[in-house]
Amino acid sequence: MSLCYLFIDFDSFYASVEQQMRPELRGRPVGIVPSLGVETTCCIAASYEAKAYGVKTGTGVREARYLCPGIVFVEAGHSNYVRVHERIKKLIHEIIYVDAVLSIDEMYGRLPRHWQPLEVARAKAMEVKTALATGIGEHIRASIGLAPNRFLAKLASKLEKPNGLTTMDFEEIPEKLYHFKLSDITGIGQRIEQRLHTARIMDMEALCTASRRKLHRIWGGIEGDRMWYALRGVEVPAVETTRRSIGHSHVLPPHLRTFHGGHATLHRMLQKACLRLRAMDYFTGHLSVGVKFGFELRWGAETHCFPTQDSVVLGKLLNQIWAEHPRDAPEPTKVSITLSRLEHIAVHTPSLFVEDNQPRRMKLQHAMDAVNKRFGGRTIYYADAMEAQRSRDAAPMRIAFNHIPELELERDQNVDKKAPDP
């Protein structure tokens, strides 16, 4: 046996954290929603008790109540989820080295050679489970997969949920892979699945028996070869990626569904994005804005600039874009902002023009960042965001699939409540 990777997938993480913190929710169907009292929103997570009734991520509040009349809706506490995540990461790191955190509820570690035999690897996995129960709480559980590579370890973690422990070694593949659908596999999106169907590959058994040359042709390149090797337990080196964009989006609460409220929320999100930009030592050369008016009309605009991390420069560009929005549109219901064409400070060449190079103003903005890191993100800000900054519902800290917020950077003072010890 050669179980090189241990992959941890936390079960219904948001709902489990709420059930750990609030004993009255334990054993009850729970739906996590962005805001309470909004019937048009949807669940961003559900407990296993709710999933048993068909409630899942993306299920609307009305539908969830119909499927599960006894469901309890809880407003998402993103700060608490991040705090628990950080405690979990620290705890697991004391048992095995955490090579990478993939999301708020997924992480993995490569096992040293002397831990790779079946009995030892399973013992380490059980040690992780025991540490979670005693150090974090018995209601926050994880399913663990052990396999020769990270790809198979992740799939193994999904075979036995909740609170599972599954191995997938060379002797057990490809048969154990037959339990999955093609769409369950990382790297197979809708377009690739259509190509597979065209090539008469309709299920995992057909995928596993396909030749490397055939997968190369279907994927249109080396990614097909990588899939062929990954399915066979071969460790495929990860492709190095660079950050391409920083962005935020937000469904406006009812009291901010005005043109002024939408504009202020865009400025709040822009100032948050600029704070992250400066913290990561990046500059941006492209700003794009998206707005959903009413429930059907979508509008967007973009502009370019000399690479900058200056909130004032980007704020002026945002105002220019906003001035072009359709005046006869319904009130805005959702807004988004994206900074792209990023370049790191190591390769950035400052502008020779005064309007693009304001060292005194940048010192001021770094000082503002330091104040907001210490006292919370709504402490000091530019006035264009005032209406949104005063509302706890306006673009609060959120966890995204590919972004776990840094509490020091993005927490809201007087809004976040610290997660109690279990």
For residues 323 and 321, give the distance between their C-alpha atoms in angstroms, rounded to a whole number: 5
Q: What angle do CA 190, 192, 193 make, to 5 degrees?
A: 60
Give yes or no for residue 416 having a pLDDT over 60.
no
Give 236: exposed, middle or buried? Use CB within 10 Å, 0-12, 13-18, 19+: middle
pLDDT tens digits for range 224-245: 999 999 999 998 877 766 678 8
pLDDT over threshold 50, residue 78: yes
20-32 mean pLDDT:
95
What does the pLDDT read at residue 414? 44
Considering the chain, what is the average pLDDT of its residues?
88
If asked whether residues 30 and 162 sit together in one domain, one would say yes
pLDDT at position 408, please? 62
- Going by the DSSP 8-state scheme, the letter that residue 113 receives in this structure is G
108-124 pLDDT, tens per residue? 999 999 999 999 999 99
Is residue 222 in some structural domain?
no
As a whole-number percent, the residues of the chain with pLDDT over 70 amount to: 90
Domain span including residue 405: 245-410
CATH number of the domain where residue 388 is located: 3.30.1490.100
What is the domain count for the chain? Answer: 2
pLDDT, one tens digit per residue, over 48-73 is 999 999 999 999 999 999 999 999 99
The arithmetic mean of pLDDT across residues 183-199, rounded, is: 93
Interior/surface letters 309-343, b for 16+ CB within 10 angstroms, e for the rest: bbbebbbebbeebbeebeeeeeebbbbbbbbeebe
Interval 356-382: pLDDT, tens:
778 888 899 889 888 888 887 778 888
Residue 215 located in a structural domain: no
Residues 56 and 138 in one domain: yes
- Do 120 and 258 lie in a common domain? no
User: What would the pLDDT profile of 256-309 be if each residue is shown by its tens digit?
Assistant: 899 999 999 999 999 999 999 999 999 999 999 999 999 889 999 999 999 999
